[in-house]
Amino acid sequence: MYSKYFPILEWSKSYTYKDFADDSLAAIIVTIMLIPQSLAYAMLAGLPPEMGLYASIIPLILYAIFGTSKTLAVGPVAVIALMTSASCSQFANPGSTDYAILAIILAVMSGMMLIIMGLLKLGFIANFLSHPVISGFITASGLIIAASQLNHIFGIEGRGSNLFDILLNLAQNFTDLNFHTLVIGTVALIILFWCKKKLKKFMLDKGSSPLVSDIVSRTGPVIAVVLTTLAVWLFGLGINEVAIVGRIPDGLPSLGIPYFSFSIWVELLAPALLISLVGYVETVSVAQTLASKRRQRIDPNQELIALGFSNLGSGTSGGFPVTGGFARSVVNFDAGAKTPAAGAFTAIGIAFATLFLTPFLFYLPKATLAATIIVAVLSLVDFKSVLRIFSYSKSDGVAMLCTILSTLLMGVEIGIISGVVISLLMYLYRTSRPHIARVGQVPGTQHFRNVNRHLVITSEKVISLRIDESLYFPNARFLEDSVYAYIGREPEIKDMILVFSAINYLDASALESLEAINRRLADAEVNLHFSEVKGPVMDQLQRTHLLAELSGQVFLSQYDAFKTLEPELSKKSLTPNKSQAS
Amino acid sequence: MYSKYFPILEWSKSYTYKDFADDSLAAIIVTIMLIPQSLAYAMLAGLPPEMGLYASIIPLILYAIFGTSKTLAVGPVAVIALMTSASCSQFANPGSTDYAILAIILAVMSGMMLIIMGLLKLGFIANFLSHPVISGFITASGLIIAASQLNHIFGIEGRGSNLFDILLNLAQNFTDLNFHTLVIGTVALIILFWCKKKLKKFMLDKGSSPLVSDIVSRTGPVIAVVLTTLAVWLFGLGINEVAIVGRIPDGLPSLGIPYFSFSIWVELLAPALLISLVGYVETVSVAQTLASKRRQRIDPNQELIALGFSNLGSGTSGGFPVTGGFARSVVNFDAGAKTPAAGAFTAIGIAFATLFLTPFLFYLPKATLAATIIVAVLSLVDFKSVLRIFSYSKSDGVAMLCTILSTLLMGVEIGIISGVVISLLMYLYRTSRPHIARVGQVPGTQHFRNVNRHLVITSEKVISLRIDESLYFPNARFLEDSVYAYIGREPEIKDMILVFSAINYLDASALESLEAINRRLADAEVNLHFSEVKGPVMDQLQRTHLLAELSGQVFLSQYDAFKTLEPELSKKSLTPNKSQAS
C-alpha cells in the first residue's frame, strides 16, 4: 500500500552489504563529477554558486525516497538552468537577491505542479511534447547555452535571451577582451575536449580496464578545475585580472518557505509548467533508457511525484529547479549503483563538500566553469537527427526545424510552445483532409484494398470507399465533397458503401454531413450503406435518427456488403484468377 | 473560363421575361423587409442609420455578379453587426466618426481576406468552426443582442460587451426609465410578435393563399415602423420625449478608400478574420440549405470570392460588414426569386428608398428598431439543440456549452475563439487515449471483431489488438503501456498481432514507440506482427529500419496473420459453430 508512494519501503527490505559497497563507490564518483557541474549550472542559471550545491543535497535524498528508478541521478542540469534563467531574468536582474528568490519560487511551484500531476495521474500531458519537438528544443538550447558562456571565456559582457542577442552583444563588447581569461578558458577547453575525446582510448591503450577508463575520462571537469584554480592562485591573478568564483558560504542550506507575492506566483505559472514538463520528459526518458538496460521498470506517475518532491526540496533548501541528468545518471549506472541509496550517499558527499571544500574553490575561474558547460552541452546538439526525422516524415521534420529556429531566435519559452502548437496544428491539418481510398476485393479472399495499389475486383454499380480518418468537424465537409465528386463522375453507381474500419469517432458535425450525404444520394437514386462500423461508433449512431433514415443497410463486414450487393462478382472472386480483376 | 469567376455570365445567357417578372416581385418584397432591418442593424452596430442602407446597395449588386447561389440575399445581419460593434468599440466610441471609419475598414479587410481565401481555396479554414460551436455562438449572440437593445425600449443607458455588463448597466440606470419610450417599444413588440406568431394563421383562416399569408406575416417590422412613426409625429413626441432616428442624409453613398493607419489595420486583423469566417459559415449554410431545396449547387470557394467582393463593395461605399442573411434569403426564395438578378433589383429598391424615403423616417423611434431586432434575434436562440447535441455526444455538448457561456460572459471574440480551441483540445485529448480492442475471428468468416462485443474465436498464444487511432506523439506512450499490460497479464502469449486497419498515420514518436515495443517483446520472447497496414502507412514504414528489425511479419490481412500463426483454430473457425467460440 504505502510502498506504491514510497518505493524505498520496497527496495530497502532486501538491501545488502554488497549493495552498500556498490552504492558507496558510485556515490563517490558521482560526487566528484557533480561538484563542478553544480557550480557551473548555478552560474548558467545566473545564481550564486552555493545554490548549485544546495540543489544537489536535499533533492537527491528525496528522490531516493520517492523515485522508482534505481540509478537516476537528479540535480541541476543545463537545459533547466537555461530555462530558469530565461524565466527569472524577465522579472529581476541576474545576481540580485530578487532573482535568486524567483528561482527558489520556480523550484517550489514546479515541485507542487509535478506532485499534483502525479497524484492526478496527469503524466500524459508530457506526451504532448513530441520527440522531434523535445529533441529540436534541446539542440537549440545547447547552442544558446554554449553561446551564452562565451562571454566568460573572453572575459567580456555578452548576455541575451536568444542566440541573436547573445552574439550581437559579444560582438559589440569584443574590444574588452581579457587576455588572461581567454588563456585560462582555452586551456580548460583543451583539457576538457582531450579528456572527453582521447583520454578513454589513451587509458585503454595503456591497459586500463574499460570501466575505469570510462569513468576517469569523465573526470575532465575536475582536472580542469584543479589545474586552473591552482594557476590563478599561483600566478596571483586574483579578482582584478580574472573573474573567479570567490567566497562561497560554507554552511549547509537553511530550510524555509520562500517569500510570497501572489502576482509573482501567477506570472511564474507558465514558466514553472514548462520547466516541470521538460524536466519530467528528460527524467523519464533517462530513467527508462537505464531501466531497460537492466530489465527494470519505472513508474511514470510515481516519477512525477518523486521529481516533484525533489524540486519542492530544492526550493525549500535554497536551491533551484532540478531534474534527472543524463550524463550523471550514466556515470552512476556505469559506476555500479544498485539502488537509489547511491543518490542519498552522493547527497552526503555534496554536503561534506559544501561544509569543507568551498574555501578551496575561492580562486576557481569562471572561465573554467564556462568551459565545462560548453563541452557538456555541445553533446546535446544533434543536427543529424533533423535529417533523419525529415527523411521519415516531413511534418515531423518541419516541427523540429520550427522548434529549433524559434528557440534560437525567440528564446526557450516561445520556442517550446511554438513547437508544440505547430506539431498539433500540422496533425489537425492532416486530419482535415483525410485519405479516402476506393477499395475492391482481393481475389480469393474476403479482404478489400485500395484499387490503386492492389489488383482487386470492383463493380461499376457498387462503389466502396474506405475513409481513413475519424470524422469530425474539420473534415466533415471534405467527406461530403469527395462523395459527391464520385457520384457526379460515375452516373452508373447505384450503391455506395462507406467502409468505417478506420473511423474511430463521429462528432455532431460529421453526423450532419452523413445525414446530408444520405439525403443527397437518395435524391440521386443511390443507396448509402455502411460496413465494418466499430462498436463505439455504432453506439453513437444508435442514439440518432440516421440509421432509421439510411437508404441502405449497415453490414458487419465489407465482404458481407459486397456479397449482398454484388452476389455474382463476389462469388467469382473466391476463385483466385487475376484475369477477373479490374 | 470566365464564368467560373463570374457566374453571372452563365445564368444571364438564359434569362427570360418570366425570370425578370419573378425576380422583380421578389425584389419588391425583400426591399420592403430590408429597409427597417438595414436601419436596425446599423443601430445595433452603433453606426448611423444611412450606413445600413449603404450596406444594402453595392454589396447586393456585386453578389449578383459573383455569387453562385440563386436566392441568397446579402446585407447587414444581426450577429455580424454585433461582432462589428464589439471590435470597433475597443478602439473608438460608438457614434463617433472614428468608430464609423473602423467599421468601414473592417468591411474592406474582411472583403480582402475572403477574396484571398477564395483564390487560394482556403475555405476549409471555416470548417474549424464546428457546428456546435457556431450554433452555441449564435444562441449566445442572440441573447446578448436582445439584452443590448433593452436600453432603447426603456429609454435609458445600458451598454456593454457581455451579458453581465449589459444587465448591470441597465439595472443601475433603471430609475431613468422613459415612460413614452417604453409604451412605444412595448406596442412595437406586441405588433411584431403578433405578426410573427398569429398573422399567418389569421390570414389562412380568412382564406388567403399560404404564400401570401406567409409573406404578409413577415411585414410586421414595416407595420410597426409605420404605426409608431406616425404616433410620434401625431403626438409631437419629438426629440426630447422619445429617441428618434432623425435626419438621414438622402444622397447615394460616395465611393472611396477608407483612411489608412497601419497600426489600426494590424489591430483589426483578428476581428476581421473572425467576422469573415462567421459570415462565410452563415452564408454557405443558408445558400446550401436553399440550393438543395431546388436541387441546385453552390460553389463554396466562389462564395468566398462573392462574399469578399460584397464586403469590399460595402466598405468602399460607406457600409459595414455584410453577409448572407437567413430570414431575408428565405423571403427572397419564397417570394419566387429565380436568379441573383433579384438581389440587384433589391439594391435598386434600397437606392430608391435612400434617395426619396429618408425624410419619412425622421420620426421613426429607435425603440421600434430595437423591438424589430429583439424579435428577429430571439429566433436565433436555440437551447433545444444544446440538449440534442449533448444526447449525441458529450464532448460536442461541452464545446457548445463552453461557447455559449464564454460568449455571454466574455464577449463575442473570446467566445468564438474559446469554442474553437476547446473543441480542438477535446479532440486531441480523445486521440491521446485511443480505444484498443482485442479482436477475434467471427466464426464462418474472415472477419475479426472486438472480443467484448462479439462471439469470436480467440487464441491463448496469439493475441490480436486493433488500435483505433492514428499513432502520433500524444498517444505513442499510451500504446506502449497498453501493450506491456497485456504481455504482463498473460505470460502464455507467444505472438502479438497489431491490427493497423484504423491507423492512418504514424509519426516519428510513434515509430520510436513501435521500435521500443518490438525490442521489449523480443526480450519477453513474444513475436510482434502487423496486419492490414494501409498503403500510406506502409510507405512510411518502408523508409525506416523497423520492418527489417521486426521480430514477426507483416500480413496483408488479419485473417492471413491468424491463419498463419494459428492454422488449427483458424481452419475450424470456417465452419460456423458457436460452441467453438471462446
pLDDT in tens, A476-533: 888 988 898 888 888 889 999 999 999 998 988 899 889 989 988 888 889 999 999 9
Residue in B389, B476, B520 nearest the CB of A127: B476
Q: Residue B27 carries which side chain, given as an amino acid letter?
A: A
Does residue A575 carry a pLDDT above 60? no
Residue in B127, B445, B534 nearest the CB of A473: B127
| Those residues with Cβ within 8 angstroms of residue A312's Cβ, 6 or more apart along the chain or in another chain | A62, A107, A108, A111, A112, A115
Across the interface, whether the CB atoms of A511 and B392 are under 8 A apart is answered yes
Neighbours of A349 (CB within 10 A): 21
A520 vs B555: CA distance, rounded Å? 38
Residue B447 with chain A: CB contacts under 8 Å: 446, 556-557, 559-560
Closest CA to B114 of B313, B411, B329: B313
DSSP conformation letters of B498-541: EE-TT---B-HHHHHHHHHHHHHHHHTT-EEEEES--HHHHHHH
Residue in A131, A133, A519 nearest the CB of B512: A131
Does residue A564 carry a pLDDT above 80? yes
Q: Dump pLDDT digits (tens) for A30-84.
A: 898 889 889 999 999 999 999 999 999 999 999 999 999 988 999 999 999 999 9
Closest CA to A151 of A37, A43, A39: A43
Across the interface, whether the CB atoms of B473 and A520 are under 8 A apart is answered no
Q: What is the pLDDT of residue B573?
A: 56
Residue A556 with chain B: CB contacts under 8 Å: 442, 447, 449
Distance from CA of A576 to the nearest CA of B (A): 15
Label the pairing between strands A527-531 and A495-499.
Answer: parallel
| Those residues with Cβ within 8 angstroms of residue A118's Cβ, 6 or more apart along the chain or in another chain | A301, A302, A303, A304, A305, A308
ipTM of the complex: 0.79
Neighbours of B157 (CB within 10 A): 11
Q: What is the pLDDT of residue B582?
A: 37
Residue in A396, A432, A520 nearest the CB of B127: A432
Distance from CA of A442 to the nearest CA of B (A): 10
Across the interface, whether the CB atoms of B446 and A446 are under 8 A apart is answered yes
Residue A519 with chain B: CB contacts under 8 Å: 292
B555 vs B501: CA distance, rounded Å? 12
Across the interface, whether the CB atoms of A559 and B446 are under 8 A apart is answered yes
In the predicted model, residues of chain B with pLDDT beneath 50 are 575-582
B345 vs B359: CA distance, rounded Å? 22
Q: State how far the alpha carbon of B427 is from the alpha carbons of A26, A504, B277, in Å.
A: 47, 12, 21
Q: What is the pLDDT of residue A572?
A: 64
Across the interface, whether the CB atoms of A392 and B504 are under 8 A apart is answered no
Q: What is the pLDDT of residue B581?
A: 37
Q: Give which of A432, A472, A543 to mutate to test B binding, by max B Cβ within 10 Å.
A: A472
Q: What is the pLDDT of residue B394?
A: 87
Q: Dump pLDDT digits (tens) for B218-227.
A: 778 888 889 9
Neighbours of B480 (CB within 10 A): 18
Q: Dump pLDDT digits (tens) for A120-129.
A: 988 888 888 8
Residue in B433, B453, B504 nearest the CB of A535: B453
Distance from CA of A481 to the nearest CA of B (A): 10
Q: What is the pLDDT of residue B41?
A: 93
Q: What is the pLDDT of residue B87?
A: 92
Distance from CA of A390 to the nearest CA of B (A): 9
Residue B424 with chain A: CB contacts under 8 Å: 424, 428
Chain B residue at shortest CA distance from A448: B557
Distance from CA of A423 to the nearest CA of B (A): 9
Across the interface, whether the CB atoms of A445 and B557 are under 8 A apart is answered yes
Closest CA to B211 of B336, B71, B33: B336
| Those residues with Cβ within 8 angstroms of residue B321's Cβ, 6 or more apart along the chain or in another chain | B55, B76, B80, B83, B84, B103, B106, B107, B110, B275, B279, B311, B314, B315
Residue that the C-alpha cell 456585386 belongs to: B62
Residue A573's pLDDT band (cuts 50, 70, 90): low
Across the interface, whether the CB atoms of A469 and B556 are under 8 A apart is answered no
Label the pairing between strands B448-450 and B436-441.
Answer: antiparallel
Across the interface, whether the CB atoms of B424 and A428 are under 8 A apart is answered yes
Chain A residue at shortest CA distance from B543: A392
Across the interface, whether the CB atoms of B433 and A124 are under 8 A apart is answered yes
Across the interface, whether the CB atoms of B540 and A392 are under 8 A apart is answered yes
Q: Dump pLDDT digits (tens) for A17-32.
A: 888 888 988 898 889 8
Q: What is the pLDDT of residue A114?
A: 95
Across the interface, whether the CB atoms of B508 and A428 are under 8 A apart is answered no
Q: Please give the domain boundaries of chain B with CATH numbers for all domains.
A: 2-424 (no CATH), 436-580 (3.30.750.24)
Chain B residue at shortest CA distance from A513: B131
Across the interface, whether the CB atoms of B430 and A505 are under 8 A apart is answered yes
Q: What is the pLDDT of residue B578?
A: 44
Distance from CA of B239 to the nearest CA of A (A): 50
Distance from CA of A543 to the nearest CA of B (A): 6
Across the interface, whether the CB atoms of B446 and A449 are under 8 A apart is answered no
Neighbours of A2 (CB within 10 A): 9
Q: What is the pLDDT of residue A77?
A: 93
Across the interface, whether the CB atoms of B424 and A427 are under 8 A apart is answered no
- Indicate the angle between helix axes A97-119 and A300-316, nearest 10 degrees: 150
Across the interface, whether the CB atoms of B445 and A132 are under 8 A apart is answered no
Across the interface, whether the CB atoms of B504 and A502 are under 8 A apart is answered yes
Residue A430 with chain B: CB contacts under 8 Å: 505
Residue A570's pLDDT band (cuts 50, 70, 90): low
Q: What is the pLDDT of residue B264?
A: 85
Across the interface, whether the CB atoms of B124 and A433 are under 8 A apart is answered yes
Residue A576's pLDDT band (cuts 50, 70, 90): very low
Residue B137 with chain A: CB contacts under 8 Å: none
Across the interface, whether the CB atoms of A472 and B130 are under 8 A apart is answered yes
Closest CA to A348 of A136, A38, A61: A61
B103 vs B54: CA distance, rounded Å? 13
Residue B551 corresponds to which cell in the numbers above? 521480430
pTM, 2 dp: 0.81
Q: What is the pLDDT of residue A466?
A: 94
